[in-house]
Amino acid sequence: MIEKLNMKVNATELRTTIPKLKEIGPMVFQGSEFGYKNFGGWNLQSRTGDYKDGFQVGVEKCWRNGKFDYRLAKFLNYSHAFEHNNKTQACLKPYATILNFLESEGFYPRRARVTCLKAGSNSIIHRDAPDDVYMCRIHIPIITNDQCYHWMDYKGDQKYFHMPADGSVFILPVNVMHRITNQSKHDRYHMIVDVYDTKKVTKNFKYDGDINFLINEAKEYRKIIDSTPLPWYWKIVYSIGRQIVVTKFKMEQKMIHASYKLNSTKFVRSTISK
- 137 has which bridge partners? 172, 194
Q: Taking Cα atoms as reference points, which of 170, 167, 163 lies closest to residue 188?
A: 163
Residue 230's nearest CA partner among 58, 48, 80, 72 is: 72
Calpha distance 70→226 (Å, rounded): 9
| Across 5-14, average pLDDT | 96
Phi-psi region of 38 (alpha: psi -120 to 50; beta: other; left: phi over 0): alpha
- Band of residue 111 on the pLDDT scale cut at 50, 70, 90: very high
d(Cα 179, Cα 184) in Å, to the nearest integer?
A: 16
Alpha-carbon distance of 97 to 105, in angstroms, equals 12
**Residues 177-236: pLDDT tens digits?**
999 999 999 999 999 999 999 999 999 999 999 999 999 999 999 999 999 999 999 999
pLDDT of residue 58: 58
Confidence of residue 99 (pLDDT cuts 50, 70, 90): very high
- pLDDT tier, 144 (very low <50, low <70, confident <90, very high otherwise): very high
Q: What is the pLDDT of residue 269?
A: 58
What are the beta bridge partners of residue 151? 160, 179
Whole-number Å distance between alpha carbons of 142 and 149: 14
Asked whether the predicted pLDDT for residue 96 surpasses 80, the reply is yes
pLDDT tens profile 45-93: 999 999 998 776 556 667 777 788 899 889 888 889 899 999 999 999 9
Q: In this structure, which amino acid lies at residue 108?
A: Y
Per-residue confidence (pLDDT) for residue 267, from 0 to 100: 52
Residue 243 clears pLDDT 80, i.e. is over it: no
List of domains in the chain: 3-260 (2.60.120.330)
Q: What is the 3-state secondary structure (H, E, C) of the chain?
A: CCEEEEEECCHHHHHCHHHHHHHHCCCEECCHHHCCCCEEEEECEECCCCCCCCCCCCHHHHEECCEECHHHHHHCCCCCHHHCCEECCCCCHHHHHHHHHHHHCCCCCEEEEEEEECCCEECCCECCCCCCCCCEEEEEEEECCCCEEEEEEECCEEEEECCCCCCEEEEEECCCEEEEEECCCCCEEEEEEEECECCCCCCCCECCCCHHHHHHHHHHHHHHHHHCCCCHHHHHHHHHHHHHHHHHHHHHHHHHHHHHCCCCCCCCECCCEC
273 or 179, which is more confident: 179
Q: Give the number of other CB atoms < 10 A from CB of residue 243.
A: 10
Tell me what pLDDT residue 64 has.
75
Using CA atoms, how far apart are residues 129 and 173, in angstroms rounded to an integer? 10
pTM of this prediction? 0.90
Question: What pLDDT sits at residue 108?
Answer: 97
